[in-house]
Amino acid sequence: MYKTMKKIAITMGDAAGIGPEIIAKALYCAEIRGCGTPVVIGDRTVMEEAISLLKLPLKLRIINSSDESKAAAGTIELIDIGEIKKFERGKPAAENGRACVSYIKKAVELALKKKVDAIVTAPISKEVLKMAGMKWHGHTEMLAELTGTKDYAMMLIGGDLKVILVTIHTSLKSVPAMIKKESILKTIRLAKKACDMLDIKNPRIAVAGLNPHAGEAGIFGDEEKNDIIPAIEEAKKLGIPVTGPYPPDTVFHKAYKGAIDMVVCMYHDQGLIPLKMIAFEQGVNVTVGLPIIRTSPDHGTAYDIAWKGIANPASMLEAIKLAARLKI
């Protein structure tokens, strides 16, 4: 399954959230040691508390560079950014937001310099980024800017579903105006790139319509006729194996049954609702289009259960394993 042992940087995420806990739990699993060499980028104080809370037989080893990583069993290797000395569990704070950005910047630096092969990001909060005065809404936009990437998209994988989004974090009322041929074509091209990253041979890419019944020949909306269909036809001319638009209420069933490899979705919840229905605890977020590999658990900071020892690490496990499989 894993042709090479990748070195994987794992950013700690929001100290007040479940990131430190799910990282410790995931790295305690023997299967992770078989797919890559993990290096955590975060704060010593926080990771020590997480290990203590969970009472896991793990040791924290501080390293200065990913080059020093040895992947020793029973050890979490940490590049200590040293920004957090004290924090309040389960509570958003500006200093945590600033620290999150520092972890991510360090991970990107290492990835661009080929010091690590992939990045896995533990959850951060849009709220703490705003509190810290940051302009980004989340990881996706931040990573795109830090890597100088213009064309990118959010892909999510869960169970037998793989979806990629034309629009991401925007209000539902704003979506129709953003459904343009150019953005749809860009996402279809990135869907093909995502299939290549997953080593899917002869991929079957399907495009969901925006409207009920995919517009029903313009009766329920003209986005399909004016923009979605022209984008699909243009993609076909480029040699991309894509079909659609399909009615949104049937396309995910086809994908779930194995007839489709990737669904191009028009907006966030169109893709996320079916995916989370079948794989709520195992979903993984991938940023497609970056010059580096980046995956993330498909959930948030979960302040309500943070630092209680009960957070499920399944999505983090899947994110690490997927990062080891993906190729650019």
Q: How many Å apart are CA 294 and CA 261, to the nearest integer?
A: 20
State the SS3 of 204-238: CEEEECCCHHHHCCCCCCCHHHHHHHHHHHHHHHC
pLDDT digits (tens, 9 = 90+) for 277-303: 999 889 999 999 999 999 999 999 999
Do the beta carbons of residue 204 and residue 259 sit within 8 Å? yes
At 310 the three-state DSSP class reads coil
Do the beta carbons of residue 213 and residue 221 sit within 8 Å? no
Q: How many Å apart are CA 234 and CA 219, to the nearest integer?
A: 24
Report the 10 Å Cβ neighbour count for 163: 25
Q: Predicted confidence band at 4 (pLDDT cuts at 50, 70, 90)? A: low
At 46 the three-state DSSP class reads helix
pLDDT digits (tens, 9 = 90+) for 55-104: 999 999 999 888 878 777 789 999 999 999 889 999 999 999 999 999 99
Q: How many Å apart are CA 304 and CA 328, to the nearest integer?
A: 37
At 9 the three-state DSSP class reads strand
CATH class label, 1-149+290-328: alpha beta
Q: Are both 1-149+290-328 and 153-288 of the same fold?
A: yes
Query: Sign of dihedral through CA atoms 109, 49, 121, 92?
Result: negative
Which has the closest alpha carbon to 194: 272, 227, 119, 186? 186
Do the beta carbons of residue 129 and residue 104 sit within 8 Å? no
The yes-or-no verdict on residue 3 having pLDDT over 70 is: no
Report the 10 Å Cβ neighbour count for 56: 15
Report the 10 Å Cβ neighbour count for 194: 25
Which residues are CB-neighbours of 188 under 8 A, at least 6 positions away?
205, 207, 231, 232, 235, 240, 242, 264
For the chain, the structural domain boundaries read 1-149+290-328, 153-288
The alpha carbons of the chain give a radius of gyration, in whole angstroms, of 20
The whole-chain average pLDDT of the chain stands at: 93
Do the beta carbons of residue 4 and residue 321 sit within 8 Å? no
pLDDT digits (tens, 9 = 90+) for 166-211: 998 889 999 999 999 999 999 999 999 999 999 999 999 999 999 9
Instruction: Give the pLDDT confidence score for residue 215 in this predicted structure.
Output: 81
Identify which has the larger pLDDT, 33 or 225.
225
Dihedral pair phi/psi, residue 208, rounded to 5°: -85, 145
Residue 22, CA distances (Å) to 34, 217, 285, 296, 316 in order: 18, 48, 16, 12, 7
CATH class label, 153-288: alpha beta
207: which strand partners?
Answer: 264
The yes-or-no verdict on residue 1 having pLDDT over 50 is: no
